[in-house]
Structure 1
Amino acid sequence: MTFRAGIVLVACAIACAHGEPRPAELLRERPAPGVFVQAAATCAPSEPRIPLNDPPWRGMMLLDYVVREDGGLGDVRTEILDGKPPALQAVATVKEWIASSCRFSPATLDGVPKSVELGQFIQFGPPRREVPMLQAGMTKPSVTACAGPRPLMPQDARERALGGTIIVQYVVETDGGISDIELKAPGPVVFFRAVREWLSGCRFEPATDAGRAVAVRIVQPFIFKLQ
């Protein structure tokens, strides 16, 4: 901003010395990014439940849906990430839950409602593996290489002037690789995919406990700002 102001002042000095008006194009400020408020949901019950008389299914799925400008729900999809098929009953239960048990307020940009695509992870049964969070006495894992310093703002979100924060959970393995990348809380799927792609290209120095490399689970927020 200081550099830009300097250009305006120099241009003005030259123009005024010749009796010319200050050039209007140099005075235009870049429009401030809009104020974006993410869509919100209230669900009761807070998570889907398979009826007790149905065969149990154990696994995890990504629930992907659109919250429209009027707060309505649309384009509900599921992706099985872990678990043994068939998962037909689990998928039907999740779709019924999001459609009948949740109420949404739409996202807004400068007070104008906008449609957004959100996603969340649904877990049925215990996780397939237990990985601890970072504990006292452990050394923290550190990044050794990534494709870039941070996840890139998706072009679709940039064009629609969408920003926001997502909370992602992932495991840093003993060899420094990344696994089990999940959305910790509901958030924009477009941002989660950007984070997942970025994390998948990263390598870490693993956490250690008493000098021994250990796998740890990390929970981290990622902020996507409008520029």
Structure 2
Amino acid sequence: MVTRDGAPGAGGVDPQRLWLGPAGPRRGRRPAFSREAITAAAVAVADAEGLDAVTMRRVASEVGAGVMSLYSYAPDKETLLELMVDHVSGELPTTEAPTGDWRADLKAIAHLQRALMLRHPWLPGALSTRRTLGPHALAFLERALAALRPTGLGGVAKLEVFAQLTAFVAGHVAHEITQAAAALSPDRAAAEARYLTAVAADGRHPELAEALSAPGSPQTPEATFARFLNRLVEGLGAE
């Protein structure tokens, strides 16, 4: 069903029709553009200006097509978003064989996901609602499930572990992006540090005082992500 620009069609996206059906019109003359070109144009707009800038009209103008002609490929923005997510998922490597150390493999997978989401800052938001699994996403899922084979977990549990890992990465990257956009000036950061030091010294917050007195850890985004990821992965693997 064709809806107003930006609104999903009634009943949502049918994954079988989207991923196993034809990628474009079956009849008429050969089109001057493809679903791949439309999707790539939408991704480029989202990368540069954010997801809100992606409209059917804007994408049509990017590929030099009329808006109505796009509906044969993506009947609504929701379908276009599905295509975009799977398009960028194609950047994830899928041919590496598991090492047998499932924790190390899972951490490597998470670092790949983080890098992908940082390249495409709109992706964590796009993943916040349920998405279908297109061919590229399925290929990466296969890699993750193979990595989890040594755990002995059942099929459903392995799927849950991968979902949990992906949700963690998406949430962490979304926080990273927000923090980077609202980075404190050196003066403001120093003022906040002085405030916390004063609060910790007032005797009413002993737990905070103990936490602040502990040796600090590296605070680069990469180091922080690695620490959080280690805590998550070390707790996985149990039914």
- TM-score under structure 1 normalisation? 0.22
Q: Which has the higher helix share?
A: 2
What is the TM-score when the length of structure 2 is the normalising length?
0.21
Structure of larger gyration radius: 1
> As a proportion of its length, which structure holds more strand?
1
